[in-house]
Amino acid sequence: MEEARRIIVDIDNTLWNLAPVLWDHLKAVNPQIPDPCKWDHWDFWENYVTTEDLYQVLKTIHMQQDDYSPYPESKAFLDGLKARGFHIIIASHREKNTYAATLKWLKQNGLSFGEIHLSHDKTVLFPNSWGIVDDSSLTLDKAASAGIMRAGLLNPWNINSAHPLFRNLFEVLSYIDSLDGKRKDQTVLRRVTL
């Protein structure tokens, strides 16, 4: 039996819509922060709040994760990956002490996964991984350099990147299927030519 292929899946702005929640919280720190449709680069917050303030806001949101619902297609997307034989690694740039809240949210929403990885460096997961689904153009750049499949949801902060970006997770799954089909065709071709 073939070993399950590893796929890395982000949480924030991938499995749920963090941006409007983050905006609401950041407005309490600085009311001048622009709304998410104007976040045209990854570090949009730099001229409005300190790094410390940003991390504190994110930690607060992540500790209250069960207050927020995933995207409607998140469960079907993850179930689809699992049905296709993927080992799903949920990976997020979250503090380690948000693990319990993250696990609770995944379980209460019935979201399929094999393991959870919380750190500020997802690249440690790239070796032996088939691909990654993430909204960060910086992370997707690193995935492209590592030679693994990358895809994500289209957002104002990544729209100008050269990565495969889609309107919803069903489109991401279709894209994965198109690439996976090519991989299977190549495997069959290799077997036939041997």
pLDDT bracket for residue 187 (50, 70, 90) = very low
pLDDT bracket for residue 141 (50, 70, 90) = very high
Give the residue range(s) of CATH 3.40.50.1000 domains in the chain: 5-16+72-193
pLDDT bracket for residue 7 (50, 70, 90) = very high
Mean pLDDT score, 186-193? 36
Which tens digit of pLDDT belongs to each residue from 21-71? 999 999 999 999 999 999 998 889 999 999 999 999 999 999 999 999 999
Listed in sequence order, the residues at least 6 apart from 113 whose beta carbon sits closer than 8 Å to its beta carbon are: 9, 78, 88, 89, 90, 106
Write out the CATH class of domain 5-16+72-193: alpha beta
Distances (CA, A) of 100 to 62, 63, 184: 10, 8, 37
Which tens digit of pLDDT belongs to each residue from 79-100? 999 999 999 999 999 999 999 9
Are the beta carbons of 23 and 35 closer than 8 angstroms?
yes
Give the predicted TM-score (pTM) of the model: 0.92
Written as six digits, the tokens of 25 are 């919280």
Listed in sequence order, the residues at least 6 apart from 107 whose beta carbon sits closer than 8 Å to its beta carbon are: none
- Measured distance CA(36)–CA(22) in Å, rounded: 9
pLDDT at 180: 75
